[in-house]
Amino acid sequence: AQSVTQPDIHITVSEGASLELRCNYSYGATPYLFWYVQSPGQGLQLLLKYFSGDTLVQGIKGFEAEFKRSQSSFNLRKPSVHWSDAAEYFCAVASGYSSASKIIFGSGTRLSIRP
Amino acid sequence: GAVVSQHPSRVICKSGTSVKIECRSLDFQATTMFWYRQFPKQSLMLMATSNEGSKATYEQGVEKDKFLINHASLTLSTLTVTSAHPEDSSFYICSARQTDPLSSYEQYFGPGTRLTVT
């Protein structure tokens, strides 16, 4: 069965600094990977997704992620964070590319921004 | 486009009562909807997969008699928490998947419903 690991529970970075959130997945076939962001008390917003093709994926709000099959990783990056980026970030994997697929979420990484 | 709504956004109920949460896809048809539960500072746990016109598929450990799911139309799924107890207090989030294959079967998430059982 597929699974997702986010090793960092909480990260604090200074405003304007670069950011990298780690995500490792476990899945036997080609994974379909997502990054979502959740503000306190809110639903989820999709930042970006990887299905196939170019392993460097661009998303909204200046985020990008790189799929590395050899490392089973899909780390999220942003070159310069803003105070509004403070939120909970979830990496997720889908079991396939069909109507039967389910999305499994990692445990999340809480991002705090230092002024 | 691809907006999912949930109603209510917050609900407080007394122990022993039942609560119904609605999930609607506003501008697309969704044959499949998903219900997740999220405890404070934790991740989303998939509870069940809801398919229009058929019985829901529950994840292991989820009580189907306690969490009743109905998906009567292509735009509406409901989750009823029956005989609610304080331990059922949580944040419930639904998602809906478009039926159009060209949409890459992406899921769209609702804003969530905060349930508090007193």
Instruction: Kindly report the length of chain A.
Output: 115
Percent of chain B beyond pLDDT 90? 69
Q: Do residues A41 and B114 touch, judged by C-beta distance below 8 A?
A: yes
Output the pLDDT for position A21.
98
- Give the pLDDT score at B98: 76
Using DSSP's 3-state secondary structure scheme, residue B110 falls into coil
Stretch B37-61: mean pLDDT: 89
User: What was the pLDDT predicted at A98?
Assistant: 62
Instruction: List, for residues A50-107, the tens digit of each pLDDT value.
Output: 988 889 999 999 999 999 999 999 999 999 999 999 999 999 998 765 656 788 899 9
Measure CB to CB from residue A106 to each of B43, B106, B107 and give the nearest one. Answer: B43
Using the Cβ of A46 and the Cβ atoms of chain B, whether some distance falls under 8 Å is answered with: yes
Give yes or no for residue B109 having a pLDDT over 60: yes
Q: Which positions in chain A touch B95 (Cβ < 8 Å)?
A: 44, 103
Rounded Cα distance between A78 and A59, Å, is 10
Q: What is the pLDDT of residues B55-100, one digit of tens each?
A: 899 999 999 999 999 988 889 999 999 999 999 999 999 999 876 6
Q: How far is CA A65 from CA A5, A43, A54, in A?
A: 15, 21, 11
Mean pLDDT of B21-41: 91
Amino acid at A49: K
Give the number of other CB atoms < 10 A from CB of residue A9.
10
- B94 vs A23: CA distance, rounded Å: 24
The full length of chain B comes to: 118
- CB of B111 within 8 Å of a chain A CB? The answer is yes
The answer to whether residue B114 neighbours chain A at the CB level (below 8 Å) is yes
Evaluate if residue A15 carries a pLDDT over 90: yes
Q: Which residues pair with A105 in a beta bridge?
A: A92
Q: Which residue has the tokens 């306190």?
A: A40
CB B98 within 8 A of CB B105: yes
E strand or H helix at B108: strand B107-109
Q: pLDDT value at position B10?
A: 96
Q: Token digits for B70?
A: 């109905």
Q: Which residues of A touch B105 (CB under 8 A)?
A: 97-99, 101
Query: C-alpha dihedral over B82, B83, B87, B90, to 10 degrees?
Result: 40
Interface test with A, best of B50, B109, B113, B115 (most A CBs within 10 A): B109
- What's the pLDDT at A3? 87
